[in-house]
Structure 1
Amino acid sequence: MYILIIILCIIIIILFSSLNKRIRSLEKEILKIREEQDGNRTEEIKNLPENPLLPAAEEIIEKEEKPCENNDIEEEPAIKISPVFEFLQQNALAIAGIFTLVLGIGYFVKYAIDNNWIGEISRAAIGFAVGAGIIAIGHFLRKNYAVFASIITGGGIAALYFTTTIAFREYHLFSQNAAFSITCCVTLVSLFLSYYYKSEILIIFSLFGGFLAPLMISTGQSNYLFLFTYISVINVGMLIIAFLKKWKSIGWISFVFTSTYLFYWTFAKTEINAVYFYVISYIIFYAFALQNYFTQKKLLPAYILMLILVNLTAIIGTVFIFKQLQYDPIILFPTGFALLNGILLYREHNEKRLDTAHSVFSGIVVSLITIAFALQFSAHLITSVWAIEATLLLFIWKKTGLRIFRGFFHILFPLVIIAQVITWAEYMDAKDLRIIFNPVFLTSLVTVFTIFINLRLLKRMQQKPKDSFFENLFSAVSYGVFYVAMLSEIIYHISEEPLIIIFSIGMLFSLYFIFIILLFGRKLEIGRMLETGLLYIFFSLIILNTIIAGSGIITHIMMKNINLNFYFMYGTYLLPLICMIIKIIPHSSFFKIKLSYWLLVTAVVIAVSMEANHIYLLIRSENIADMKKLQEYFVLLYLPIIWAILASIFIYKGLKTDAREYAKAGFTLLGITIIKLYLYDVWKMDNVSRIVAFIILGIILLLSSFLFQRLKNIVATMVEKKQETDKTN
């Protein structure tokens, strides 16, 4: 077995040597070919005749190659996907190879341990020696194979980390402090090598190892002060290298790891000491995000996003700790961070630079002050912060036009809605909440305020037609959040009332809410699609309100459960209904759909019929026992008359305005009235009532027929006159 392995190794060495010689010869041949081609091109250029257009063309090319000097933001996306894939394609074998080598060494060490070839100290020594050897190999390869050497060196650093971890956890060769000191040394060495080799890849390896090292040597006993002192040292080193080398990725890696550790500490074991590390981290990453701003007076997209996230994480962490430990004032950190950003905003204002940086700082300051006010009035932290941050992202997208902020806004906004829904659910278990000035409703107000700012910003940014689907959807969600927030607050405070009162007040609020939106529709710039949808909802609610709420209220009044005055309050829904028909509908796009006529007619017929029935019952009945007989009498005698009158009005309206759907609806209602009369009513009436009903209905039908014939003749005469005029001309 061992002989076969030795022979295989010899064969691999021979093949590698021959392939290496072949590659070198190919490199020499390619170099000669390139030199010959360069020489031929030089001769061709010399022999070309001079073209008078050539200088102009060269001038145009130079202009195209020059960067735009007035561009405030460099169009550099925060995350470049294609270079990452290209790097992986070109170096996949190297990465796989170094991991395979580390695993192979590990398996060899394990095999040696299982066979008792080496002791525990020797095992650790081999691991450290192998890691140092791999780093040395990377050092010698760095001049000709920079990327490959960085990957090799990163593998050697990983070997050192894993060796330290195993020596501490499995063999107990070091104490925790000694193991931690070794990992710190490895991290510092790797950071130094990264800077010395000018290798961003290597420092990424180093940061991953440095941040994962505490997990490798953890014993389960949380020493957070020691941990975050170590993390702060790493972050300071990262910041120094970031300023020297302008490497963006290292800041993001450190930020993600640091935020994860901080949030874990905050939620697992809330301590006031964590606040100090939040502040330290805030300063470090804020400085990282402003490096281009201080050197070039510009803010790149990646750094703008970092500014937003740094403020977001710091506010959530510090305010959560203060709330849990009941420290005051709770607005200390939002106000302090707002002051810091305000200083930079003041600097921009003094220098009269009203560019992207000015917009970003002003947006952050306004957001932090809004958060401070929301927290002062005990609004919910997460919902309020997310809502304000979503608006900030949208504001920066508007100012910069960078799609990355639009993408983050589209991700964060649904989370705001979900968080707000969870906040509303607290009404179910809450007790003794004050009117308006309670945490749930104040949180809703913050969300509503930010959503309407979002709506205004989107309308100004909209390049597509105003009635786009996205705009209508966002508008519907915005008004929906406001509606649910108000309705939830109202229902909570009347929850002790009878169910019919709760339902009636909810319906009344809904009708007035839609009416006000449509009344100020032009100022609110709602789209036609949303306007039509709200009108359909309004008339559908009118039908439900009169059938369910109205009938229920009359029943409860007869049962002496509620006061008669409540019916008059319920009846105020007729005001928005009348205003809607007279003022709003004629100027809307409601009637572009033929079904709209039928919905309007149905709502009017049901509203008039039911309210006439309610008034009749209130006047005539004294108790619940009388209601059934009186209601049957109303249906038999008065309802056909009401329907006949309404049908005549609709027919007249349809013929006068040339809105044929009104006339169709009127004739349909008239047909239903006649069918009801002959198939149902006549069998239920006494003789006197039957005679009265037939006479009144007959008169109404004759008058309707007369009006119809009259209008028909008028229309015919107008058509004849028009034809004569056309012939004369």
Structure 2
Amino acid sequence: MSENRAKINQLLEKQEILHEKQESLSEELNELRNEIIRLKNVATAPLEKEKEIQILNENLLEDLKNIASPRVQEETKIETAKIDANPSETIKASQSKSDIEKFIGENLINKIGIAITIIGVAIGAKYSIDNDLISPLTRIILAYLMGIGLLGFGIKLKSNYENYSAVLVSGAIAILYFITYMAYSLYNLFPQLFAFILMLIFTVFTVVAAINYNKQVIAHIGLVGAYAVPFLLSDGSGKVAVLFSYMTIINIGILFIAFKKYWKALHFSSFVFTWLIFYSWFLGKYETSEHFMMGSSFLFLFFAIFYVLFLAYKLVRKEKLNKGNSLLIVANSLLFFYLGYSILSLHETGQHLLGLFTLINAIIHSIVSIIIYKQNLADKNIFYLISGLVLLFITIAFPIQLDGNWVTLLWASEAALLFWIGRTKKVSLYEAMSYPLMILAFTSILQDWFTVYNSYVVEDTETRITLFLNVNFLSSILFIVSFAFINKLNSKLKYPTLLGSWIKVTKLLSYVLPFILLFTLYYSIRIEIGNYWNQLFEDSALSIQAVGEEYSNYYSNYNLKDFKIIWILNYSLLFFSVLSLVNIKKLKNRKLAFANVGLSTLTILVFLTLGLYSLSELRESYISQSLAEYYQRGTFYILIRYISFVFAAIALTSSYFQVKEEFATKKYKIAFEYLLGISILWIFSSELLNWMDISGSTQSYKLGLSILWGSYSLLLIAYGIWKNKKHVRIGAIALFALTLVKLFFYDISHMSTIAKTIVFVSLGILLLIISFLYNKYKNSITDEEDV
């Protein structure tokens, strides 16, 4: 006994230990469950969370049962052994119906059967008609009796065989529809109104039966039959008001049943049938003089029914918005707009109200969005979708009702607003919508520039555009403000994009936005300057008939085109100079600095070629005073060159600071020094030619340039030795070599003896001086460059 008692105590202690381990493990499992639930709450929809929590609880409960009752596994093994030991039970289980067999036996066969029955009734009716076996009235009565009998039989079986009963009832309803059509169409036994009422009763009964059976198939059969009624009973009279009134009643019934039973397929079916019927009628039967008011009214009524239908689930049932729902809402809105726009465009008065109609679409959606927002009726995605439709129709309304600059301005403002909402309020839909609007706005402003600034006609003074004081320039400035706002918002790290799948687009945006902004800022002023001089040139046109001549002579002041080129270049040089300084002081953007240095260099080179050539043309006109009796050739034709030199100096200075600030490397500094040296030489050469031409010298291109280039080479070599800049010395030697080539192959060909003497002696002395400098400072000249 004492041994047994000791053993019992040991077992009790062991049991206590196991019990403590069980409680500890239970607590750990409970903590694990809570942690998983917490993590699931972050990313899982409410319904999915509830289901997953339930499954998790069941699994954890099963684990706890296994821990609390170790014998469960043994009992499971025993049950398995029992089943294996009783083969009759196994055979019985294997003889249970499979899912495929159940589907065929309980669903497919009865539907095939009812279809064959309906076909049989139709064949029998046709046979009796073809062979005149019974009178038309008797045929219809027998057919009705068969349909009603099948209906009653189906209803009787509902309590025990609901699915089978539902199929019989739906087939009976189809037979009743068909028979009513035959009675009206083939035998004229019913007037149209009576047949219409009869089929309406069938439709109402179908709705009631679908709700009672809770079977969507009955509703679909009733729906197909209901929409077929108008076509089956049509007498070609064109009474579309009756057709659409009937469809309205049907749609309201469908709205009720679909909402009550949550049958989405019924939504889609009724949506497709309604708009197909309406669109088919519009294409084939619509007459503006007869159907305008009626068609417009029913169009709005159908739109409103489906709008309410689609939103009812979201607002009342608090259902989340998905892609399918969004597609139907957008499709319903766009179909209404397209058909309404088409109806109005065919009407004499309505075609002037297209913009107003588009705006009304926006107002309708805005009212809905405000109600949703104020009452907090649905999730934010529905509000954003409806608000997106508001913005869509406002966007469409601009080009429909407005012209030119207003369209550009409103599109740009709307793009900025959508982008701001999308980034700051984290609504990716709005950000995505802003991108096509940016493209539209930019395309629109380009079109405005092309059409407005190329439409000036001399005879039409109303087309004259005052420099900067015009609506076109104002719209350009407001466009720039909008895109500057977008660009600033895009550059802020605290407002990242939520369009993860559009990462390439958003990266491209960081380059495209600044480009559009800077291009518009530059070109909006440039085109104003160009247009100002174009208008002056058009105004300068003269038609003068000299005494004794038969035909008139036509003149224009072509120097105005030279002034246009010069002032556009002056503006360009100033623009890129200011941009460099702004970037150095505030923006500090290396990519912008690189682009700006390149554009500044290009502009300087254009100035050195085309600009200086235009200045020389003005000089020639000033000297020759050609057409001075018609156009004034004053000293400003000469002074303008020095104004241009100031702008060029500003551009070179800003480029120097930009290179020094952002590109403090040897190769960039060398490149700038070459640009600076070439610019100085080119401008000095032009200035020399300018004054030698004014003074009347005939050797300007030979004597003067050769001495200038040689002297400039000497200065560069001296500077290169002083600053220990090898590239400057090499450049100077290359320039001197070019000067010598010019001397021997061009200068001496038509030069006088005195001129030849002056040039040769001058260049010889310069060469000697250069050689002396190299010899004197040969020890201090190294390959090292102090850049």
Give, in whole Å, the separation in 2 of the partners of 1:134 and 1:635. Answer: 105
Contact 1:647–1:666 (CA under 8 A) maintained in structure 2: yes
Q: Identify the match of residue 373 of structure 2 among 293, 297, 316.
A: 293
Give, in whole Å, the separation in 1 of the partners of 2:427 and 2:770. Answer: 65
Contact 1:191–1:206 (CA under 8 A) maintained in structure 2: no
Alignment deviations for residues 113-137 of structure 1 (CA, whole Å, 9 cap, x no partner): 9xx98979548989979x9699779
Which residue pairs with 2:517 in the alignment? 478
Greater Cα offset, 260-269 or 682-691: 260-269
- Structure 1 residue 652, shift from structure 2 partner: 5.3
2:620 equivalent to 1:542:
no
Identity %: 15
Which residue pairs with 1:366 in the alignment? none
Which residue pairs with 1:634 in the alignment? 700
2:602 equivalent to 1:531:
no
Which residue pairs with 2:333 in the alignment? 255
2:271 equivalent to 1:207:
yes
2:442 equivalent to 1:417:
yes
- Structure 1 residue 565, shift from structure 2 partner: 0.3
- Structure 1 residue 703, shift from structure 2 partner: 4.0
2:445 equivalent to 1:445:
no
SS at 1:494 equivalent: helix
Which residue pairs with 1:685 in the alignment? 751
2:236 equivalent to 1:197:
no
Give, in whole Å, the separation in 2 of the partners of 1:541 and 1:577. Answer: 9
Q: 1:433 to 1:597 in 2, by over 3 A?
A: farther
Give, in whole Å, the separation in 1 of the partners of 2:373 and 2:585. Answer: 40
Equivalent residues in 2 for 1:93-492 (5 A)? 122=185, 139=210, 143=214, 149=216, 157=223, 160-161=226-227, 164=230, 172=236, 174-218=238-282, 219-222=285-288, 223-237=291-305, 238-239=307-308, 241=312, 242-246=314-318, 248=321, 249=325, 250-264=328-342, 269=347, 271=350, 281-290=361-370, 292-296=372-376, 300-301=380-381, 303-314=383-394, 317=397, 321=401, 380-426=405-451, 427-431=453-457, 432-435=463-466, 436-461=468-493, 470-492=509-531
SS at 1:172 equivalent: coil
The AA in structure 2 aligned to 1:256 is L
Alignment deviations for residues 1-53 of structure 1 (CA, whole Å, 9 cap, x no partner): xxxxxxxxxxxxxxxxxxxxxxxxxxxxxxxxxxxxxxxxxxxxx99982553
- Structure 1 residue 154, shift from structure 2 partner: 5.7
Give, in whole Å, the separation in 2 of the partners of 1:567 and 1:686. Answer: 30
Which residue pairs with 1:613 in the alignment? 686
- Structure 1 residue 389, shift from structure 2 partner: 1.4
Give, in whole Å, the separation in 1 of the partners of 2:485 and 2:705. Answer: 50
Q: 1:267 to 1:503 in 2, by over 3 A?
A: farther
The AA in structure 1 aligned to 2:491 is K
Alignment deviations for residues 467-508 of structure 1 (CA, whole Å, 9 cap, x no partner): 986534421221112222222222222214232222222222
Alignment deviations for residues 40-91 of structure 1 (CA, whole Å, 9 cap, x no partner): xxxxxx999825532332221232133499xxxxxxxxxxxxxxxxxxxxxx
Greater Cα offset, 510-519 or 284-293: 284-293
Contact 2:423–2:496 (CA under 8 A) maintained in structure 1: no
Give, in whole Å, the separation in 2 of the partners of 1:268 and 1:488. Answer: 40
Give, in whole Å, the separation in 2 of the partners of 1:298 and 1:701. Answer: 89
Give, in whole Å, the separation in 2 of the partners of 1:279 and 1:398. Answer: 26
Task: List runs of 5+ in structure 1 lacking aligned partners.
Answer: 1-45, 70-93, 324-377, 720-729
2:633 equivalent to 1:569:
no
Give, in whole Å, the separation in 1 of the partners of 2:286 and 2:336. Answer: 19
The AA in structure 1 aligned to 2:587 is E
Contact 2:398–2:407 (CA under 8 A) maintained in structure 1: no
2:752 equivalent to 1:696:
no
Give, in whole Å, the separation in 2 of the partners of 1:488 and 1:204. Answer: 54
Q: 1:422 to 1:276 in 2, by over 3 A?
A: closer
Contact 2:411–2:441 (CA under 8 A) maintained in structure 1: yes
- Structure 1 residue 634, shift from structure 2 partner: 2.4
Give, in whole Å, the separation in 2 of the partners of 1:48 and 1:579. Answer: 84
The AA in structure 1 aligned to 2:571 is F
Contact 1:507–1:541 (CA under 8 A) maintained in structure 2: yes
The AA in structure 2 aligned to 1:671 is A
2:645 equivalent to 1:670:
no
Alignment deviations for residues 158-216 of structure 1 (CA, whole Å, 9 cap, x no partner): 66446636865xx5155121122222223223222321221334323333444444323
Contact 2:726–2:784 (CA under 8 A) maintained in structure 1: no
Contact 1:557–1:563 (CA under 8 A) maintained in structure 2: no
Greater Cα offset, 638-647 or 607-616: 607-616
Alignment deviations for residues 253-309 of structure 1 (CA, whole Å, 9 cap, x no partner): 332223334544565556477677656644432243345533448872453353244
Alignment deviations for residues 589-633 of structure 1 (CA, whole Å, 9 cap, x no partner): 4575947845763565256435543454345437xxx6xx73xx2
The structure, 1 or 2, with the larger RCO (C-alpha pairs under 8 Å, 6+ apart) is 1
Greater Cα offset, 582-591 or 526-535: 582-591
Give, in whole Å, the separation in 2 of the partners of 1:433 and 1:299. Answer: 54
Q: 1:298 to 1:122 in 2, by over 3 A?
A: closer
SS at 1:50 equivalent: helix
Contact 2:618–2:637 (CA under 8 A) maintained in structure 1: no
Give, in whole Å, the separation in 2 of the partners of 1:275 and 1:188. Answer: 31
Which residue pairs with 2:136 in the alignment? none
Alpha-carbon RMSD: 4.7
- Structure 1 residue 676, shift from structure 2 partner: 2.5
Q: 1:655 to 1:456 in 2, by over 3 A?
A: farther
Give, in whole Å, the separation in 1 of the partners of 2:295 and 2:267. Answer: 20
2:122 equivalent to 1:56:
no
Q: 1:208 to 1:600 in 2, by over 3 A?
A: farther
Alignment deviations for residues 620-663 of structure 1 (CA, whole Å, 9 cap, x no partner): 437xxx6xx73xx2222222333334444555555666665444
- Structure 1 residue 417, shift from structure 2 partner: 1.6
The TM-score, its normalising length taken from structure 2, stands at: 0.61
Contact 2:422–2:431 (CA under 8 A) maintained in structure 1: yes
The AA in structure 2 aligned to 1:286 is S
Give, in whole Å, the separation in 2 of the partners of 1:657 and 1:166. Answer: 101
The TM-score, its normalising length taken from structure 1, stands at: 0.65
Contact 2:573–2:600 (CA under 8 A) maintained in structure 1: yes
SS at 1:452 equivalent: helix
Give, in whole Å, the separation in 1 of the partners of 2:224 and 2:711. Answer: 90
Contact 1:475–1:526 (CA under 8 A) maintained in structure 2: no
Give, in whole Å, the separation in 1 of the partners of 2:366 and 2:296. Answer: 18
Which residue pairs with 1:582 in the alignment? 653
SS at 2:464 equivalent: coil
Which residue pairs with 1:28 in the alignment? none
Task: List runs of 5+ in structure 2 lacking aligned partners.
Answer: 1-20, 45-106, 131-180, 187-191, 458-462, 498-505, 538-557, 627-632
Give, in whole Å, the separation in 2 of the partners of 1:257 and 1:700. Answer: 85
SS at 2:25 equivalent: coil
Give, in whole Å, the separation in 2 of the partners of 1:596 and 1:579. Answer: 18
